[in-house]
């Protein structure tokens, strides 16, 4: 499961278009990942210049 660290995310939007399943969206200026859609491909983790997305182990 991939989460976004809102303290690191600048809202640049760079990851939104790169998510293959369109799981990332900006809601009220806060970036959120739809857990039902996210496949955990980790593309957003690799592209983010702020290292805001991270993998949460459960
Ligand atoms: S690429 Fe990183 S800083 Fe930019 S919107 Fe996505 S999570 Fe936030
Ligand atoms: S891990 Fe992959 S599927 Fe999940 S939000 Fe990031 S880019 Fe999208």
Domains (range + CATH), the chain: 2-55 (3.30.70.20)
Q: What is the mean pLDDT of residues 8-33?
A: 95
pTM: 0.92
Query: Average pLDDT over the chain, rounded to whole?
Result: 95
Handedness of CA 37, 47, 43, 14 (dihedral sign): positive
Q: Flag whether pLDDT at 57 surpasses 90.
A: no
Percent of the chain whose predicted confidence (pLDDT) is above 90:
93
Residues 6+ apart with CB under 8 A from 48: 9, 14, 15
Is any atom of ligand 2 closer than 6 Å to the C-beta of 16?
no
Is any atom of ligand 2 closer than 6 Å to the C-beta of 50?
no
Give the model confidence (pLDDT) of 32-55 as tens digits: 999 999 999 999 999 999 999 999
44 vs 58, which has greater pLDDT?
A: 44
- Cβ contact 32:18 at 8 Å: no
């Amino acid at each position: 499961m991939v989460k976004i660290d809102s303290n690191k995310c600048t809202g640049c939007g760079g990851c939104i278009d790169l998510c293959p399943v369109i799981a990332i969206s900006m809601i009220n200026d806060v970036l959120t990942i739809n857990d039902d859609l996210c496949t955990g491909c980790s593309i957003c983790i690799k592209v983010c210049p702020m290292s805001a997305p991270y993998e949460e182990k459960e």
